[in-house]
């Protein structure tokens, strides 16, 4: 939940004793996820509609802990690839979430100060990462794996569904 692939694959090798090298662990996991995503992309409800509505008004970036091949595959399979001006994987920055690197890089690629950005997040480490990047943060807690109460306190707004997220960002300070 937030670690970059190099971080979690090293953890699995050294701490959990998985008997493969970290690069091999990452490749096996990515291959399995690609097959799973081709059957069904695990998006939050209303994700595609929310992204399309926001892209009509704002330039968008994606700051993800997923591996680059998975980001590209999900965007292709959902028809959202052309809606993001920039995409960043945590494997492309020095540190994964909860560090702010992935969000800071996304803002840099948009040529926007991070403090002028709004991040939409569903995870504890994602909320921490966006907040550490000095972005305004909207939390959309996943019912199956909600963020910690402490992380939710970092959010500027909490919504129950992406259907509540409109292009005007009403109610956001």
Q: What is the pLDDT along the chain (173 residues), one digit of tens a residue?
A: 556 777 788 888 888 888 888 888 888 888 999 999 999 999 999 999 999 999 999 999 999 999 999 999 999 999 999 999 999 999 999 999 999 999 999 999 999 999 999 999 999 999 999 999 999 999 999 888 899 999 999 999 999 999 998 766 555 55
CATH number, domain 47-164: 3.40.50.1000
The pair of structure tokens assigned to 93 is 């920055």
Strand partners, 88: 63
β partners of residue 138:
120, 157
Tell whether the torsion through CA atoms of 160, 165, 169 and 171 is positive or negative: negative
Q: Judge contact between 60 and 120, C-beta under 8 A.
A: no
The token duo for 147 is 């963020």
Q: How far apart are CA 31 and CA 146, in angstroms?
A: 26
CA-derived radius of gyration, the chain: 16
Tell the residue number behind the tokens 């540190």, with chain if given: 95
Are 13 and 21 spatial neighbours (Cβ–Cβ below 8 Å)? yes
pTM for this entry = 0.88
């Amino acid at each position: 939940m937030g670690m970059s692939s190099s971080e979690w694959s090293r953890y699995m090798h050294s701490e959990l004793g998985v008997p493969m090298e970290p690069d091999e662990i990452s490749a096996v996991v990515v291959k399995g996820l690609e097959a799973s995503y081709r059957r069904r992309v695990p998006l939050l409800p209303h994700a595609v509609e929310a992204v399309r509505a926001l892209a009509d008004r704002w330039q968008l970036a994606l700051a993800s802990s997923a591996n680059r091949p998975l980001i590209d595959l999900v965007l292709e399979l959902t028809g959202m690839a052309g809606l993001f001006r920039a995409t960043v994987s945590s494997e492309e920055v020095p540190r994964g979430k909860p560090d702010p690197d992935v969000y800071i890089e996304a803002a840099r690629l948009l040529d926007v100060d991070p403090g002028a950005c709004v991040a939409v997040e569903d995870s504890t480490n994602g909320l921490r990462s966006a907040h550490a990047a000095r972005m305004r943060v909207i939390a959309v807690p996943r019912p199956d794996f909600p963020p910690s109460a402490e992380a939710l306190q970092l959010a500027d707004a909490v919504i129950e569904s992406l259907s509540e997220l409109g292009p005007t960002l009403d109610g956001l300070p």
